[in-house]
């Protein structure tokens, strides 16, 4: 038959001696921590101090009752328990462990004087301060320990702590979750606040690294110590920080005064509170701060069952806790006198006060620890062969705590790189090379993407490469060129209109109006050829773009050359009996324009016949991009076209330069000199820029050269004439042009 379970509260030694103990056949030693230190704290900070302690006890009672009521779990065995309070003191915690192992009465290490069921495991503690020495101590005796609050990664070392397990969320995992939360909420500027101990320093650095990995920045790491002045300076710095979010990490601040200082000085900041701070019930958690916790669904569902509440209320341990927590008198006068003597305060009649059992938050981690321990013991007893209570740790599921591997798994986006003189399971992880992905864990080799695809940022999947060209849709560079070309075309049209309107004036006649019209139309064609360079290239546009601008520029420069030669002939013919008179007229100018333009036309025709330009997809120039561009077909032909234009421009420049000193009535040579100088400068600088750029920017360089050189011709040759025609009409007379303007 199952024995009646009697609880033992080790708050002080006197209480333990007055309380009977009658655990069942199986007993759990459970360490609980409480922050009860003196009478003043009992009166002023009851809720903050006792909520977690009472909630942990209730959760343990939940679990024990569930285990003992389950007929399929540990049949014919009643699980009992003993509860001891560590008071966050390592020495007291170790003393409690020895007391549990020795039995009631005098503590005798290595001897067990108990007459009740064997101790199979220990559950506790909440704090790392006490959990760590308990784990070190129990590893010598081979007893299993399950902590429900200590989450420091150091306890995951199975070599040092083979018998320790935890139901809490690992601190490293919490840091990743917090960093993801910061990223999800769009926070990019936070402050980290931690206790000034070794754990706080270690966790704050780890948390900072995780936050930085997720794209956010940490203003600074503030640490709180036992020095009040230092703490005030730290919290004042947080107040002045532009960061509105403060992330807490490390262990819980040790004193009530320090917690009050924090909640007073940074109450206007939003706090992100980790799971290790669940025991803190403070005003600073109610200002929009975020608290991480694990759902207590099981415990909350139990709390809705009134019949179960009666079971908890009937437990002798809870009755003692009820008496202690709320300073209530019991039916046992001897116990009331003892409690009032120990705590130094008066107890009251609470018969008219209805305090619910579940007013404190249950701790699901305690529930998991107890039930998990019961299942492990059940597996051990169900296995074949002999087993010992100290073997129970072998049957606990180690899904999160146990890891035994030489190297961490290489995540997607990485590949394994074998180390020299190392076994195959020991390897490093290397990022996949450019153009490669890995979409599985621990891949030996990365997969190369298709030529028209490229890895995403994580290098776990191939996506289509970005297509690049000077598109009419959404490309600001294309929009700029369109505006410049249209404005220039409009300006040319206006100038043509002016010249047509004033075609019979002396200024227009003196500058060979027919050549001027040819030059204006060729410049207009040059501006129009810009649109062949914009948009998605095709074979037709690729063939037309280079030949069209080459021929139009050749006509323009040929016209300039003809105008310059005519200036020289006109000056020579102005002398009496000059043989140059027979060369005056339009025939010589047309001949020059036709011959010079025809040569360029012939070069372009041969180019299109032998090796015409064509559209191609360039997948090698820029990683992750497919550049739709025109292949010139024959690079030699392309540079012959440019060289011929350069030759015409050079000849025009030389002739115009030599004719610059002619009389004022023939001073157009000065403007031609400047225009040819600008033209040559643009195309000479264009060639190295053209060769050093890639993709759409290479095309943009050529478009810029076309527009700027065409504007140079237009502005230098025609704007001065338009200025005289519109704003200085008195200069547009024969007398003025012949120099009789005085």
Mean pLDDT of 587-593: 82
Residues 106 and 228 in one domain: no
What percentage of the chain carries pLDDT values higher than 70? 72
CATH number for 122: 3.40.50.2300
Is residue 329 helix, strand or coil? coil
Residues 562 and 424 in one domain: no
What is the H or E stretch that residue 271 is in? strand 270-273
Residues 120 and 221 in one domain: no
CA 107 – CA 102 distance, rounded (Å)? 6
In this structure, are residues 655 and 635 in contact, taking their beta carbons and an 8 Å threshold?
no
In a domain, 640, yes or no: no
Residues 247 and 370 in one domain: no
In this structure, are residues 416 and 442 in contact, taking their beta carbons and an 8 Å threshold?
yes
In a domain, 469, yes or no: no
pLDDT of 446 reads 93
pLDDT digits (tens, 9 = 90+) for 43-82: 233 444 445 566 677 777 777 878 888 888 888 888 887 8
In a domain, 118, yes or no: yes
| Structural domains of the chain, count | 4
pLDDT of 676 reads 83
Residue 683 domain boundaries = 476-573+653-737
Going edge to edge, which strands form the sheet with 466-468? 466-468, 625-631, 614-618
Q: Is the pTM of this model over 0.75?
A: no
pLDDT of 312 reads 52
Residues 236 and 285 in one domain: yes
719 pLDDT above the threshold of 80: yes
CA 683 – CA 675 distance, rounded (Å)? 13
| Residue with the larger pLDDT of the pair 656 and 209 | 209
- The most confident of the ranges 31-35, 404-408, 672-676 is 672-676
pLDDT of 316 reads 66
Residues 138 and 182 in one domain: no
Residue with tokens 């509440």: 309
In a domain, 627, yes or no: no
Residues 514 and 368 in one domain: no
Lookup: tokens for 115: 């007459």
Residues 185 and 120 in one domain: no
In a domain, 601, yes or no: no
The band of 349, judged by pLDDT with boundaries at 50, 70 and 90, is confident
In a domain, 589, yes or no: no
CA 604 – CA 610 distance, rounded (Å)? 10
Residues 87 and 152 in one domain: yes
pLDDT of 665 reads 52
Residue with tokens 């799971």: 275
Residues 61 and 185 in one domain: no
What percentage of the chain carries pLDDT values higher than 90? 8
Between 308-317, 432-441, 536-545, 607-616, the lowest mean confidence (pLDDT) is in 308-317
Residues 217 and 160 in one domain: no
In a domain, 440, yes or no: yes
In a domain, 287, yes or no: yes
pLDDT of 528 reads 92
Residues 560 and 668 in one domain: yes
């Amino acid at each position: 038959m199952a024995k009646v379970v009697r609880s033992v509260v080790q708050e002080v030694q006197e209480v333990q001696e007055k309380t009977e103990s009658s655990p069942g056949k199986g007993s759990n030693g459970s360490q609980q921590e409480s922050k009860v230190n003196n009478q003043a704290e009992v009166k002023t900070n009851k809720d903050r101090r006792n909520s977690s302690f009472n909630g942990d006890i209730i959760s343990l009672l939940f679990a024990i009752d569930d285990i003992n009521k389950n007929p399929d779990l540990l049949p014919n065995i009643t699980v009992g328990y003993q509860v001891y309070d560590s008071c966050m003191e390592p020495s007291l915690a170790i003393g409690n462990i020895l007391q549990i192992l020795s039995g009631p009465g005098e503590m005798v290490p290595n001897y067990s004087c108990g007459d009740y069921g064997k101790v199979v495991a220990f559950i506790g503690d909440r704090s790392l301060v006490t959990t760590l020495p308990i784990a070190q101590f129990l590893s010598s005796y081979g007893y299993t320990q399950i902590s429900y609050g200590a989450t420091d990664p150091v306890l995951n070392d199975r070599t040092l702590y083979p018998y320790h397990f935890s139901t809490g969320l690992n601190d490293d995992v919490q840091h990743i979750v917090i960093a993801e939360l910061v990223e999800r909420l769009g926070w990019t500027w936070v402050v980290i606040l931690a206790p000034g101990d070794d754990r706080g320093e270690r966790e704050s650095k780890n948390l900072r690294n995780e936050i930085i990995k997720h794209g956010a920045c940490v203003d600074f790491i503030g640490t709180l110590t036992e020095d009040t002045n230092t703490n005030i300076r730290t919290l004042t710095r947080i107040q002045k920080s532009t960061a509105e979010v403060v992330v807490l990490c490390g262990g819980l601040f040790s004193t009530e005064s320090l917690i009050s200082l924090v909640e007073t000085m940074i109450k206007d900041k939003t706090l992100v509170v980790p799971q290790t701070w669940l025991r803190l019930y403070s005003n600073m958690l109610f200002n929009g701060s975020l608290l991480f916790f694990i759902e207590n669904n099981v415990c909350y569902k139990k709390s809705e069952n009134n019949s179960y509440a009666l079971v908890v209320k009937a437990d002798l341990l809870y009755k003692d806790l009820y008496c202690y927590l709320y300073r209530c008198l019991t039916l046992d006068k001897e116990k009331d006198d003892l409690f009032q003597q120990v705590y130094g305060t008066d107890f009251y009649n609470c018969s008219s006060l209805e305090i619910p059992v579940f007013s404190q938050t249950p701790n699901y981690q305690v529930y998991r620890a107890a039930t998990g321990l019961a299942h492990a013991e059940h597996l051990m007893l169900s296995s074949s062969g002999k087993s010992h209570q100290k073997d129970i740790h072998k049957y606990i599921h180690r899904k999160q705590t146990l890891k035994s591997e030489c190297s961490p798994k290489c995540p997607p986006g990485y590949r394994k790189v074998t180390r020299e003189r190392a076994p195959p399971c020991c390897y490093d992880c290397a990022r996949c090379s450019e153009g490669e992905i890995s979409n599985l864990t621990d891949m030996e080799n990365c997969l190369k993407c298709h030529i028209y695809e490229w890895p995403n940022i994580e290098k776990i999947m191939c996506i289509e490469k970005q297509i690049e060209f000077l598109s009419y849709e959404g490309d600001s560079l294309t929009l700029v060129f369109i505006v410049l070309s249209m404005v220039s075309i409009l300006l040319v049209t206006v100038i043509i209109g002016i010249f047509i309107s004033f075609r019979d004036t002396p200024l227009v006649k003196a500058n060979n109006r027919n050549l001027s019209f040819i030059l204006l139309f060729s410049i207009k064609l040059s501006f129009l050829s810009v649109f062949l360079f914009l948009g998605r290239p095709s074979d037709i546009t690729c063939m037309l773009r280079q030949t069209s601008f080459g021929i139009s520029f050749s006509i323009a420069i040929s016209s300039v050359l003809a105008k310059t030669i005519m200036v020289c002939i006109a000056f020579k013919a102005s002398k009496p009996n000059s043989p140059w008179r027979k060369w005056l007229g339009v025939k010589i100018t047309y001949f020059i324009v036709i011959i010079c333009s025809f040569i360029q036309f012939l070069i372009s025709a041969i180019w299109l016949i032998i090796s015409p330009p064509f559209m191609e997809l360039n997948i090698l120039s820029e990683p992750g991009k497919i550049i739709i561009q025109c292949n010139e077909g024959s690079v030699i032909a392309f540079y012959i076209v440019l060289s011929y234009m350069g030759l015409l421009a050079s000849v025009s420049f030389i002739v115009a330069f030599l004719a610059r000193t002619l009389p004022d009535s023939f001073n157009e040579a000065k403007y031609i000199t400047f225009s040819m100088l600008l033209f040559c400068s643009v195309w000479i600088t264009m060639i190295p820029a053209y060769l050093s750029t890639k993709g759409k920017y290479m095309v943009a360089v050529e478009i810029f050269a076309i527009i700027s050189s065409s504007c140079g011709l237009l502005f230098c040759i025609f704007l001065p004439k338009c200025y005289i025609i519109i704003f200085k009409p008195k200069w547009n007379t024969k007398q003025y042009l012949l120099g009789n303007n005085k």
